[in-house]
């Protein structure tokens, strides 16, 4: 409104009264829940979404909707599939916004889990329906992801474009922490609903922007993917693509490296 007032020739005056308090360092944490597997309890399907947010708004679409999707998928699974073949974990990571710290710490602290991950499904770009899934550079992802996806009803998957083998994500969200460690981890990318230009990291990221019909569709999708990944008689293949040459540098690209989390807010 101020912008428009100035643009139309008015000379608005504003008075700002701001108060703040220095609260020192606050600890962050991961919130992890699991449904124990019955046949292969040492193998894992991970439902992933970061639980922290940016300041300004309440973080409804970054990443309230991602965590709602994973919690609702867990509720469905617990009710309809209480004895999964593999262990299903819901990982709600802290301090994603400061550099994937929660998920990187989980990966660093639990190599025994990471080496036995069947699949990670991560969601973190707004309220929209999932419309894109990349194979993240795992050569055989087309096979198992394709099979798992084909089990979902058409009205859930008809808008989803897959991209195989895709490129390994080096950052941006928590799947990258797992991809770097070689675990098959996938970003469930959403229809944007003006996420990037409107709600993302702004004071407009509030509850009223949630499109519950899309969130519902995503919860159904994740529950089905988790079910299929858990039931699959085969272990998901981890073979990586040979990365192409970087056209700018002329050098062959390399798989993203596993990075240590910042554990003490940059004070360590
Ligand atoms: Zn986010």
| 9 CA → ligand 1 middle, Å | 38
What pLDDT, in 10s, does the model give residues 25-36?
Answer: 888 999 999 999
| 95 CA → ligand 1 middle, Å | 10
Burial letters for 135-167: b for 16+ Cβ neighbours within 10 Å, e otherwise? bbbbebbeebbeebbeebeeebbeebebebbbb
What pLDDT, in 10s, does the model give residues 164-183?
Answer: 999 999 999 999 999 999 99
| 7 CA → ligand 1 middle, Å | 33
What pLDDT, in 10s, does the model give residues 96-145?
Answer: 999 999 999 999 999 999 999 999 999 999 999 999 999 999 999 999 99
| 135 CA → ligand 1 middle, Å | 20
| 65 CA → ligand 1 middle, Å | 10
What pLDDT, in 10s, does the model give residues 198-222?
Answer: 899 999 999 999 999 999 999 999 9
| 38 CA → ligand 1 middle, Å | 33
Please identify every residue whose CB atom is under 5 Å from ligand 1, which is an ion: 62-63, 124
Range list of β-strands (E), the chain? 31-35, 40-50, 86-93, 117-122, 130-134, 161-163, 185-190
pTM for the full model?
A: 0.92
Q: Residue 268 has what pLDDT? A: 67
Comparing 17-31, 144-158, 161-175, 223-237, the range with the smallest average pLDDT is: 17-31
| 19 CA → ligand 1 middle, Å | 27
| 129 CA → ligand 1 middle, Å | 16
| 90 CA → ligand 1 middle, Å | 16
| 179 CA → ligand 1 middle, Å | 17
| 196 CA → ligand 1 middle, Å | 11
């Amino acid at each position: 409104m101020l912008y428009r007032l100035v643009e139309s020739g008015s000379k608005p005056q504003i008075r700002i009264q701001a108060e703040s308090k220095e609260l020192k360092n606050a600890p962050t944490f991961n919130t992890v829940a699991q449904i124990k597997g019955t046949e292969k309890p040492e193998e894992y399907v991970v439902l992933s979404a970061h639980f922290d947010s940016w300041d300004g708004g309440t973080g409804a679409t970054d990443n309230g909707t991602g965590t709602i999707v994973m919690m609702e998928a867990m509720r469905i699974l617990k009710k309809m599939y209480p004895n999964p073949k593999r262990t299903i974990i819901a990982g709600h990571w802290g301090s994603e916004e400061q550099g994937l710290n929660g998920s990187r710490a989980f990966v660093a602290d639990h190599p025994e889990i990471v080496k036995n991950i069947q699949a990670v499904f991560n969601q973190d770009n707004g309220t929209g329906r999932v419309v894109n899934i990349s194979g993240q550079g795992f050569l055989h992802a087309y096979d198992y992801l394709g099979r798992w996806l084909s089990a979902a009803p058409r009205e859930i998957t008809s808008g989803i474009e897959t991209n195989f083998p895709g490129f390994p994500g080096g950052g941006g969200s928590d799947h990258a922490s797992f991809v770097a460690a070689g675990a098959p981890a996938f970003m469930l990318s959403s229809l944007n609903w003006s996420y990037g230009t409107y709600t993302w990291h702004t004071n407009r990221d509030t509850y009223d922007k949630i499109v519950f019909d899309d969130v519902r569709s995503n919860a159904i999708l994740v529950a089905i993917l988790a079910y299929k990944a858990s039931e699959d008689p085969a272990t998901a293949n981890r073979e990586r693509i040979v990365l192409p040459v970087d056209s700018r540098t002329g050098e062959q690209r390399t798989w993203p490296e596993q990075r240590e989390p910042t554990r003490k807010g940059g004070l360590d």
